[in-house]
A and B are shown apart, each in its own frame.
Chain A
Amino acid sequence: MISHFLKLEWKQFFRSSHWQKGIALKIIMGFFILYFMVAFLAIGVGGYYILKKLYPALDPLQLVNSYLLYVVLGELVLRYLMQTLPVMNIKPLLILPIKRSALVHYVLGKSAISFFNIISLFFYIPFTIVLIIEGYDTSGALGWLLAVVLMTQSVNFLNFLINKSTIALGSIVFLLLATIGVQKFDIFDITVFGGQVFDAVYASPVYSLIGFVILGVLYNLNYKQLKSLVYLDEAVSQKVEEATSIDLSFANRLGDVAPFIKNDIRLIWRNKRTKTVFLMSFLFLFYGLFFFTQETYREMPAMLMFASLFITGGFTLNYGQFIPAWDSAHYKMLMSQSFKYRKFLESKWILMVVMTSILYVLSFPYLYFGSRIFLMITAGAIFNIGFNSLFLLYAGSFNRKKIDLNQSGFGNTQGTSATQFLIIIPLMLLPMLLFWVFNKFVGYNSGFIVVASVGIISLLLKKQAMNYIEKKYIKDKYVMINAFGKEA
């Protein structure tokens, strides 16, 4: 039985869309994963010495121990938001002659080797090895490692137990804030208590076996709960959202473009991935803080230009790069309707321009960093509105990857191809280069003026550009219909 499940897992993994992607994307994805692994490894290896250097009076292990309970609470919140049991996978297996209990064990067992559980090992294992090298008691250190691994697994299963209830999330967040609070005001220091628990495990490793008991109990609770829920109307059901309609009649004033604008607003608000893009664009507003607050970047005008473009460009860049793949699911239908293609494109353009303008208004507090920074943001906004919006529409005609709107937005690379990497050059590097060259050889103000001028000139040439873009889309119609029809 297990070998069957393992075979399925193997095929699911290697036949998933992750592997069907272009080579460039594979390399970049691999690079990111490697980066995370190396980062955790580095902290695991170097963590001991860093703590030793920062707090020479304290024992690094005790220091880590005292904060482990915070790690548990923090992990719970993170997992609550990002991790769910992959129950839908077993739907096709339900009608086959496999025991329900085997299916439940399969789902639960699979969750034990999820990303969340593995990545922390990249810290704990090297940290333990360093402890042993540094002369800590070997059995104590190994006992400690076993205890934290069991703790991670327990948190994994605890999460699935409480995952359904928002009350649970509320209480965890409250508990987290409360413990931080009482610690701040010296009422009760949880780090002392937490520290004692894990110090005790190090002192007598036998205690780590208690972790097995906790894990066993939590696993059993999960097993019982899930087993009674493996029915199509319970755990193995697709959630149906109640439709909420908001009045969008204000858009009617836009005339011919109105139906598309209304559609686009609904597209963004009612689908997970687009909603993430929309909400993230407000987070990009804060991007500048990383750069403007650091002295090193103050002397690197090209980098400041980079940040300025991102502040107002979050939406345009993230939404624009996947036009028209957002509409890939119903692209055939659109292409059989009678409308001017221009209206469809125009609607996307208006959306990008309006959002950039809103983000620009919201960026006014950056005046705090001085008028030069603000001028730079203004130039960036003009460039985003004038050049980037049009350029992204043009680049969109090269999109050949379908996007499934219902999938979550975090770390989702569906729809990504070489196009997305190539367009970075004109979108970001061109204004940075322009700014750098003119700033260096002509003078500071000329940098803004040139970047802003490119934006304004593009805006003035909008009609010609749109004609050209429209022709390109119509020419590529059949290829796009064919590509969007394929499973993502």
Chain B
Amino acid sequence: MITIDTISKKYGKTEVLNVASIEIPTGQSFGLVGNNGAGKTTLFNVILDLIRPTTGSVTSNNIVVSESEAWKNFTGSFIDESFLIGYLTAEEYFQFVGDLRGMSAAEVTSFIGEFEDFFNDEIIGKKKYLRDLSKGNQKKAGIVAALMGNPEVVILDEPFANLDPTTQIRLKQVIKKLTDTSNITVLISSHDLTHVTEVCERIVVLDKGIVVKDIVTSAATLKELELYFSV
């Protein structure tokens, strides 16, 4: 379970984030929606203890993320390309992350094997460094790396952006499988309302750093969101 408690972030006088309280129960698929500058990425960075909030704290499975690092053992994440190591090949990168997550070389290979369809022959065995892959392929590698080592919490920022249609559909299946069959909490943000309503049980809308909607996804959700954003 992730508890976000009175998180705010100020840069000088401008407040970019002010979230009173969000509780994300274990196993929930949680979607974050908002226009550019709404504070989605900032919130994820705070949850990952990459940015210190001005006030408040985030608790993940009873661990205050800014006080202990134990949450890193069960949290996988991909925010942007800076989460990739540009001078490694995809295989080397997976091996590196696998090493850090306590997986053996064989475990890494078999885990990566499960994503053969997802990679669509574009990632493995390409003799290319990650920095030379296209944005979409970089994203694929980053997302899969975030799923390594049996995480209990997975955080993906804009996972659908830059992906080709086939991979978008496959990614939705992957995320659904994560939350349906195992008790993994998935946090994703997206600009694509269709995708996010399809995948997430709950959707929170941020606007200028403030929670303006907190919806349990239903058949009417997409319409509601479209109405909200078509200003």
Which of A241, A266, A332, A333 has most B Cβ within 10 Å?
A333
Residues from chain B with a CB closer than 8 A to the CB of A335 are: 49-50
Residues from chain A with a CB closer than 8 A to the CB of B49 are: 335-336
Q: Are B84 and A241 in contact (CB under 8 A)?
A: no
> Which residues, 404 to 425 on A, are CB-close (under 8 Å) to B?
405-406
- The CA-CA distance from A175 to B116 in the complex, in Å, is 54
Known: A240-B128, A241-B129, A258-B99. A333 touches B85 (CB 8 A): yes
**Contact residue among B50, B79, B99 (Cβ-Cβ distance under 8 Å from A259):** B99
Q: Are B100 and A338 in contact (CB under 8 A)?
A: yes
**Contact residue among A242, A258, A266, A339 (Cβ-Cβ distance under 8 Å from B92):** A266
Residues from chain B with a CB closer than 8 A to the CB of A242 are: 127-128
> Which residues, 441 to 488 on A, are CB-close (under 8 Å) to B?
478, 481-482, 485
Q: Are B83 and A332 in contact (CB under 8 A)?
A: yes
Residues from chain B with a CB closer than 8 A to the CB of A332 are: 50, 79, 82-83
B54 → A minimal CB distance (Å): 12
Number of A-B residue pairs, CB cutoff 8 Å, is: 79
Q: Are B82 and A330 in contact (CB under 8 A)?
A: yes
Q: Decide yes or no whether A294 CB sits under 8 A from chain B.
A: no
Q: Are B51 and A266 in contact (CB under 8 A)?
A: no
Residues from chain A with a CB closer than 8 A to the CB of B101 are: 337-338
> Which residues, 195 to 252 on A, are CB-close (under 8 Å) to B?
240-245
- The CA-CA distance from A338 to B69 in the complex, in Å, is 7
Interface residues on A, range: 20 to 34
Which of B75, B86, B97, B126 has most A Cβ within 10 Å?
B86
Interface residues on B, range: 20 to 34
Q: Decide yes or no whether B132 CB sits under 8 A from chain A.
A: yes
Q: Decide yes or no whether A17 CB sits under 8 A from chain B.
A: no
- The CA-CA distance from A339 to B128 in the complex, in Å, is 27
Known: A241-B132, A243-B129, A332-B50. A337 touches B85 (CB 8 A): no
Known: A330-B82, A333-B85, A481-B51. A245 touches B129 (CB 8 A): no
A264 → B minimal CB distance (Å): 11
Residues from chain A with a CB closer than 8 A to the CB of B77 are: 336
Q: Decide yes or no whether A267 CB sits under 8 A from chain B.
A: yes
A252 → B minimal CB distance (Å): 9
Q: Are B128 and A330 in contact (CB under 8 A)?
A: no
Residues from chain B with a CB closer than 8 A to the CB of A270 are: 87, 129
Residues from chain B with a CB closer than 8 A to the CB of A336 are: 48-50, 72, 75, 77, 83
Q: Decide yes or no whether A120 CB sits under 8 A from chain B.
A: no
Residues from chain B with a CB closer than 8 A to the CB of A139 are: none
Q: Are A405 and B83 in contact (CB under 8 A)?
A: no
A488 → B minimal CB distance (Å): 13
Residues from chain B with a CB closer than 8 A to the CB of A481 are: 50-51
Chain A 271-296 near chain B by CB (<8 Å), digits 1 or 0: 10000000000000000000000000
A148 → B minimal CB distance (Å): 43
- The CA-CA distance from A336 to B73 in the complex, in Å, is 10
Q: Decide yes or no whether B52 CB sits under 8 A from chain A.
A: yes
Q: Are B87 and A339 in contact (CB under 8 A)?
A: no
Closest 6 CB pairs of A and B: A338-B72, A259-B99, A333-B83, A270-B87, A338-B73, A243-B127
List chain B positions with a Cβ less than 8 A from chain A.
48-52, 69, 72-73, 75, 77, 79, 82-89, 91-92, 95-97, 99-101, 126-129, 131-132
Query: 14 pairs across A/B with beta carbons < 8 Å?
Result: A245-B89, A263-B96, A330-B82, A330-B85, A333-B85, A336-B49, A336-B50, A336-B83, A337-B97, A337-B101, A338-B101, A481-B50, A481-B51, A485-B82
